[in-house]
Amino acid sequence: MKTNTPTPQEMESRICRYADLVPVKADFAESKGIPAEAYATIAADETFLLMAPEGMKSATGEAPPVVGGDGGEIFTVNIARCPPNDGPFLHAHQTTAETFMCLNGRFRINWG
């Protein structure tokens, strides 16, 4: 099996630096006519788009740091920052899958 040795420039195209990410916040929702209180009931405090297919942008129009990182051009990766005792409400996706990974603290997930 051949080993791929990427150059530093190739690696940079696959790296997300948290300090460089631009969050989607409630003020974005307000700019679209959605009251901050309403947005807070359905969305995380902040969301960050890390990876997405070519041409996909965040809600604020930012391109992700990693474009097409999965090779199949179908995966998106986001971080959602939620305050304690808060998180996504029960919801469904008709044509996509969703995976939750807790980066800090604990997440309680109920279903059924």
- pLDDT mean over 21-30: 79
Residues 6+ apart with CB under 8 A from 48: 18, 21, 22, 23, 24, 58, 78, 79, 80, 81
Most confident by average pLDDT, 3-7, 92-96, 100-104: 3-7
Q: Name the phi and psi angles at 77, rounded to 5.
A: -125, 125
Q: Has residue 105 got a pLDDT over 70?
A: yes
% of the chain surpassing 90 pLDDT: 7
Of 5-9, 43-47, 64-68, which gets the smallest average pLDDT? 43-47
- pLDDT mean over 66-80: 81
**What's the pLDDT at 111?**
73
Instruction: Return d(Cα 65, Cα 15) in angstroms, integer.
Output: 7
Number of domains in the chain: 1
Amino acid letter, 102:
C
Burial classification of residue 49, based on how many CB atoms lie within 10 Å of its CB (0-12 exposed, 13-18 middle, 19 or more buried) = buried
- pLDDT mean over 78-90: 82
Residue 66, domain extent: 1-112
**Which tokens is 111 given?**
């279903």
**What's the pLDDT at 7?**
94
- pLDDT mean over 80-106: 80
**What's the pLDDT at 112?**
67
Residues 6+ apart with CB under 8 A from 103: 79
